[in-house]
Each structure stands twice: as structure tokens, then as C-alpha cells.
């Protein structure tokens, strides 16, 4: 039975699941208006609850009755009456001219305002601009349109329901469609044990700080002055790493905007105040752009003593010669990098346009040495399958609800540290051979379940077996350790292809570059790492024959 297709009130069930979840886990954190809503909601007739939820799940807060017709609800005006009586919905609301235009279609606008033939020909936006000087004050819907049998309603509790959605999901990018996609079987999620200690929001301050951060983000994107936005940024509690990391990311984004505006001093101050990965390197670059080579060189020297990541080290090495020259210091010694195997191919262009990676794969493929186009999929998937239990450990701040694709703190600086014992146990299996059984068992038991690492559409049993037969556990450990060092940066950049020699139990990863293409920074870092650790890797340069 498909619950979405067979139950016309599936959306009501989903909404009420959220309310129950919040009531059971977060009652002590709720504000009074949120508690009042929960009590009022459950006293409503089913049809009224269903109509309210339909409004909550639709775009906007204004609706005409004729646009709220649902067979399972029945008469819209009858269902709306209890909502109006309890102050959840307003009837005949005050509307600005802009809001009225959102509700009416062009023929209705023509009739309401008795537009001249010239105005009738204009687009709605131009009609609105022409009428605004004359109608600059809100009026009730019936004052605009006169007596009508098609009343207008305003949903008064959308902000409150958005807060409840935040408390449930822990973010604003997930919405009610998550339930539908799960009900339809499109998405499957790992079942996590939600203990009271593992809830995402620990106190009301966490909720209020998140809301304040989101409000600042929305204002900045809407064009508000950045200094006003920064003044309103909440400091966020020191012991809430995932909220603090969101704040530092936002500072980084504002600094990027200021850098594009060439406001070097302001951009520098925000980069310097942000702990988001990459902020220190951008701070050095902004000082350099501002002609402040001395401070830039001093900060670079400090950063070189302890780079935050391989990505930052790569950036610092590029800036070092320029800054040394600018301040009259000796040019730093060039860092010699291990060189990967090089493959040069000249092939005829394919009859049908396709990816160069597929052309090279077909050319190199042999029955005794198959080649797969895996890019980031294979090593990430092997890591995700071996470390499944560690990744989905129900620690505080990691999981808010049953619809998580990944832990909420996946990109936090302390992601690995907070799960140190679990990751040590998982990676320890690479030392005694147990890793094969764990990977294969999770591949079978977790098939199709959402994971931030496992590419189910790429992985199959044949590829999995070949990888386990041909990639030594030491190489897997080195790759997995590097992923954990910087999950955000190191989940990408893997070579495009992998070739296996099953009889010899060996492999080679191959990065493909077509005519005029060059290696990207994250690809260079992975190739350098693999070469340094004797993990077989090659770069294939393809040229077309005339």
C-alpha cells in the first residue's frame, strides 16, 4: 500500500507526526505561543486541521477560497470558520496593492481597477507600477474587490510553523516534501536511536541563535547593509560547535562579497574574524590586494608553521614567492613534488560526442584488466560502508529527526574528534581483515539508504569485489584517513578512472585530461598524496588525431 496515494490525508499525518515528535522531545524548550498552538491545534475538527496544514505547506500566506478546494476537506468556508475563530487564520485581511496583484489574474485586475485599453496591454508588473502612486495604502480584500462569494484568507501562523519545522529538521532547507519522498520510497533514511541526550537543540538559546542567524542571512541576501547585519549576529554559545561553524561560514560569505566589491579593509576584518576553512588564506590574499605586503607576509609565515589543511598549504605555497619578493625576502625554496605516472594518448575523435573519460576507459579496458569510471564514488563508498556506524552515531547535535541524509555536524571541525572511538574501531578492521565482511554486510543491509558517502547508483557487487580484491587495506586506510582529515575538501578530487588487474591483485587510478584541460587544485592534492604514499596513480593526457 502506498500511503501517499491511498491516504488523502497523508500530509495531515505527516504534520501531526512532527507535532508529536516536538511535543515529546522539546516540550521544555518551547515558547508559550508554540505551546498554545499545539493545544489549540488538537482541539480543531479534522477538516479544519487539514485545511490549515494545506495552507502551511503551500507557498505564501494569502489564499482565495476557490484555490483551497480539496475533496478530502469538503466545504472550504466551513473548514476555515474554526481557524478564524481561534485566531489562526484571518478572513478579509488587509492587503497591499502588491499582495492583491499576487492574488488576482490580469482579467480580474482589469475589472477591479477599470483599466484603460492602454494599461490592459501591459504586463502585470508594469500595471502594478502604474497604479502604485494612486493606491499606496493597504485595504481590506473586500474594499479592493467589493462583495464576493470567493473570500480571502491569510495564514497567521506561518512564522510559528516555520519555527516548529526548524526545531524538527534542524535547518530551513528541508521541508514537508521530505515526508512525501520517503513515503513514496524515493528516499530511505538510516534509523538512528534518538536518546534524550542526543537531541539537536539543547536549550532555547540554541533555537533563538539559529533563528537570529537565519534572519541575518536572509536580510543580507535581500541587500541589507552588511554592517547592520553583522551588528545583529548572535555570538552563539561556545559549546555549540555546529552553530558556531554556521556563524563563521556566514562571516566568510559576507567577506567574499566585500572582496568582490574590492572593499579590502572590511573584507580582511571579517576573514580574520572567521574560523571557516579557507578564511585565513583569503585574509592574506586581501592584504596583498590592498598593498599591505608586510602584514600579508607575516600572516603567511605564521600560517606556514601550521597549515589548517592541505588545501590551505597549497594556497600558501603559491602566494609565498610573490609576497617574499614584495617585502624583499629571499624566494622560498621550491617544494619538489613526487610525479605520478604519465599516459599520453592520441585517439581518433568519437563518432558521437561523449566524455573524454569514457573514450579513455573504452581504449584502456581489457577483459583481464577492466576499467571503471568512478571518480569520487568508489573510495567514498568504501569509506562510508566501513564507517557506517561511526557516521550515524547518535551524538548530541548530529541528528534531529528521522530524515537525515548526513549528520548535521558533518563539516564541523570536531566531527572526527566527537566520534574518535567509533572511527578507530572501524578503521582498526583494516588491520586484521575484518573490513571486507563489514563492507559487504553493510552493502547488503543498507542498500539504498541515504548516506553522505555511498554512491549506490555507481556501486555494484562486481565493482565492490574487484576493489576489495585489488586495493590493499593499507591504501584504503590512507585514503580514509585523508577523507577524515578534511571531509568537505577531500570527498572530491579523486581520479576519474580505476583499472584493476584481478590476477595480480593490483590497481591504478587514472585522472583523464582532454585537450586544453588542466588539473584542478583538489585533483592535484589527491594525486600528490597518492604518489607520496605509493598508491598507484596516473594522469592520462588525451589528444585527438587529425
Give the pLDDT mean for 92-118: 94
- Residues forming beta bridges with residue 152, ordered by sequence position: 64
Question: How many alpha carbons lie under 13 Å from residue 514 in its C-beta half-sphere?
Answer: 13
Residue 180's pLDDT is 75
202 band by pLDDT with thresholds 50, 70 and 90: confident
- Integer-rounded Cα Rg, in Å, for the chain is 29
Average pLDDT over residues 166-172: 89
Cα 73 to the center of its chain, rounded Å: 35
Residue 2 confidence (pLDDT) above 80 = no
Q: Name the percent of the chain lying above pLDDT 70.
A: 98
Burial level of 479, CB count in 10 A (0-12/13-18/19+)?
A: buried
3-state class (DSSP) for residue 494: coil
- Other beta carbons within 10 angstroms of residue 132's beta carbon come to 13
How far out from the chain centre does Cα 313 lie? Answer: 26
Q: What is the pLDDT of residue 396?
A: 79
State the pairing for strand pair 62-64/89-91: unpaired
- Taking alpha carbons only, the member of 427, 395, 424 closest to residue 192 is 395
Q: Are strands 371-373 and 497-501 parallel, antiparallel or unpaired?
A: antiparallel
- Residue whose grid cell is 577483459: 367
**How does DSSP assign 232-300, residue by residue?**
T-----TT-HHHHHHHHHHHHHHHHHHHHTT-HHHHHHHHHH--STTHHHHHHHHHHHTT-HHHHHHHH
> If 0-12 CB within 10 Å is exposed, 13-18 middle and 19+ buried, where does residue 489 land?
buried
Most confident of 186-200, 341-355, 422-436: 422-436
Are 63 and 155 within 8 A, CB to CB?
Answer: yes
Collapsing DSSP states into helix, strand and coil, what is residue 235? coil
Q: Quote the cell numbers at residue 14.
A: 505527516
Look up residue 94 and give its three cell numbers: 488587509
Coil vs helix vs strand at 171: coil
**What strands lie across the sheet with 62-64, from one edge to the other?**
62-64, 152-155, 89-91
String of DSSP letters for 313-324:
HHHHHHHHHHHH
Q: Do 350 and 546 meet the contact criterion of CB atoms below 8 Å apart? A: no
pLDDT at 85 over 80: yes
- Of all residues in the chain, the percent with pLDDT exceeding 90 is 82
DSSP letter for each residue of 174-199: --THHHHHHHTTS-B-------GGG-
Encode pLDDT of 388-405 as tens digits: 999 999 887 788 888 888
The three-class DSSP label of residue 453 is: coil
Opening angle at CA 503, ends 502 and 506, nearest 5: 55
Integer Cα distance of 437 and 459 in angstroms = 16
Closest among 210, 158, 167, 161 to 38, alpha carbons compared = 161
Per residue in 68-79, pLDDT (tens digit) is 999 999 999 999
Quick check: 248 pLDDT over 70? yes
Phi and psi, residue 500, nearest 5°: -115, 145
Q: How confident is the model at residue 1 (pLDDT cuts 50, 70, 90)?
A: very low
By residue count, the chain amounts to 546
Helix spans in 42-157 (H):
46-57, 76-85, 97-103, 106-113, 117-120, 124-131, 141-145
Residue 227 three-state SS = helix
**pLDDT for 69:** 96
Express each pLDDT in 356-385 by its tens digit.
Answer: 999 999 999 999 999 999 999 999 999 999
Q: Cell numbers at residue 196, please? A: 534524550
Kindly give, in sequence order, each residue whose CB lies less than 8 Å from that of residue 131, ignoring residues fewer than 6 positions away. Answer: 97, 113
CA 119: distance to chain centroid? 44
Nearest to 70 by CA among 52, 86, 82: 52
Cα–Cα dist 267/273, whole Å: 10
User: Can you give the pTM of this predicted structure?
Assistant: 0.82
The 10s digit of each residue's pLDDT in 501-516 is: 999 999 999 999 999 8
Mean of the per-residue pLDDT values for the chain? 93
Mean pLDDT of 56-71: 95
Q: What is the DSSP letter of 329?
A: P
Q: Which residue has the higher pLDDT, 6 or 459?
A: 459
Spatial CA neighbour of 370 closest among 474, 435, 460, 283: 460
Q: Indicate the pairing of strand 371-373 with strand 341-347.
A: unpaired
Helices (H) and strands (E) in the chain, counts: 28, 10
Which DSSP letter does residue 418 get? Answer: G
Q: Are 9 and 50 in contact (CB under 8 A)?
A: yes
Sign of CA dihedral 23, 160, 63, 219: negative
Q: What angle do CA 357, 361, 362 make, to 5 degrees?
A: 120
**Most distant CA pair in the chain, distance:** 85
List CB contacts of 129: < 8 A, sequence separation 6 or more: none
Amino acid at each position: 500500500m502506498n500511503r501517499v496515494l491511498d491516504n488523502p490525508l497523508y500530509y495531515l499525518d505527516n504534520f501531526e507526526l512532527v507535532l508529536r515528535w516536538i511535543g515529546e522531545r522539546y516540550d521544555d524548550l518551547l515558547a508559550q505561543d508554540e505551546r498554545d498552538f499545539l493545544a489549540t491545534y488538537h482541539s480543531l475538527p479534522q477538516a479544519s486541521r487539514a485545511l490549515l496544514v494545506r495552507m502551511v505547506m503551500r507557498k505564501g500566506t494569502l489564499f482565495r477560497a476557490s484555490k483551497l478546494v480539496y475533496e478530502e476537506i469538503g466545504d472550504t468556508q466551513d473548514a476555515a470558520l474554526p481557524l478564524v475563530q481561534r485566531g489562526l487564520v484571518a478572513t478579509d485581511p488587509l492587503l497591499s496593492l502588491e499582495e492583491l496583484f499576487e492574488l488576482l489574474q490580469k482579467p480580474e485586475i482589469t475589472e477591479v481597477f477599470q483599466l484603460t485599453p492602454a494599461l490592459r496591454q501591459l504586463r502585470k508588473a508594469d500595471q502594478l507600477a502604474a497604479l502604485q502612486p494612486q493606491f499606496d495604502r493597504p485595504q481590506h480584500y473586500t474594499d479592493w474587490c467589493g462583495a464576493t462569494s470567493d473570500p480571502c484568507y491569510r495564514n497567521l501562523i506561518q512564522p510559528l510553523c516555520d519555527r516548529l519545522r526548524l526545531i524538527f529538521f534542524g535547518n530551513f532547507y528541508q521541508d514537508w516534501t521530505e515526508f512525501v519522498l520517503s513515503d513514496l520510497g524515493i528516499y530511505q533514511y538510516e534509523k538512528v536511536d534518538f536518546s534524550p541526550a542526543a537531541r539537536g537543540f539543547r536549550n532555547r538559546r540554541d533555537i533563538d541563535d539559529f533563528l537570529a542567524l537565519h534572519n541575518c542571512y536572509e536580510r543580507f541576501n535581500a541587500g541589507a547593509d552588511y554592517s547592520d547585519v553583522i551588528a545583529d549576529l548572535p555570538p552563539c554559545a561556545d559549546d555549540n560547535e555546529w552553530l558556531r561553524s554556521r556563524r563563521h561560514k556566514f562571516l566568510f560569505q559576507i567577506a567574499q562579497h566585500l572582496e568582490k566589491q574590492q572593499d579590502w579593509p572590511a573584507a580582511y576584518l571579517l576573514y580574520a574574524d572567521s574560523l571557516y576553512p579557507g578564511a585565513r588564506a583569503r585574509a592574506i590574499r586581501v592584504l596583498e590586494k590592498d598593498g599591505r605586503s608586510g602584514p600579508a607576509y607575516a600572516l603567511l609565515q605564521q600560517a606556514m608553521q601550521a597549515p589548517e589543511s592541505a588545501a590551505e598549504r597549497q594556497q600558501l605555497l603559491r602566494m609565498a614567492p610573490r609576497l617574499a619578493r614584495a617585502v624583499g625576502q629571499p624566494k622560498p625554496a621550491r617544494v619538489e613534488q613526487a610525479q605520478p605516472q604519465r599516459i599520453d594518448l592520441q585517439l581518433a575523435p568519437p563518432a558521437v560526442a561523449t566524455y573524454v573519460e569514457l573514450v579513455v576507459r573504452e581504449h584502456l579496458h581489457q577483459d583481464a584488466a577492466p576499467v571503471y569510471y568512478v571518480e569520487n564514488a568508489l573510495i567514498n563508498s568504501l569509506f562510508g560502508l566501513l564507517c557506517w556506524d561511526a557516521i550515524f552515531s547518535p551524538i548530541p547535535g548530529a541528528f534531529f529527526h528521522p530524515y537525515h541524509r548526513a549528520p548535521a555536524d558533518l563539516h564541523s571541525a570536531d566531527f572526527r574528534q566527537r566520534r574518535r572511538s567509533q572511527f578507530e574501531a572501524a578503521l582498526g578492521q583494516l588491520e586484521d581483515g575484518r573490513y571486507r565482511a563489514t563492507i559487504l554486510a553493510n552493502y547488503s543491509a543498507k542498500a539504498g539508504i541515504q548516506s553522505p558517502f555511498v554512491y549506490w547508483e555507481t556501486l555494484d557487487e562486481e565493482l565492490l569485489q574487484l576493489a576489495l580484491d585489488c586495493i590493499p587495506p593499507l591504501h584504503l586506510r590512507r585514503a580514509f584517513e585523508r577523507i577524515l582529515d578534511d571531509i568537505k575538501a577531500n570527498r572530491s578530487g579523486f581520479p576519474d578512472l580505476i583499472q584493476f588487474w584481478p590476477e595480480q591483485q593490483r590497481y591504478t587510478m587514472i585522472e583523464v585530461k582532454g585537450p586544453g584541460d588542466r588539473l584542478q587544485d583538489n585533483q592535484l592534492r589527491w594525486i600528490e598524496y597518492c604518489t607520496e604514499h605509493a598508491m598507484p596513480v596516473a594522469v592520462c593526457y588525451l589528444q585527438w588525431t587529425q
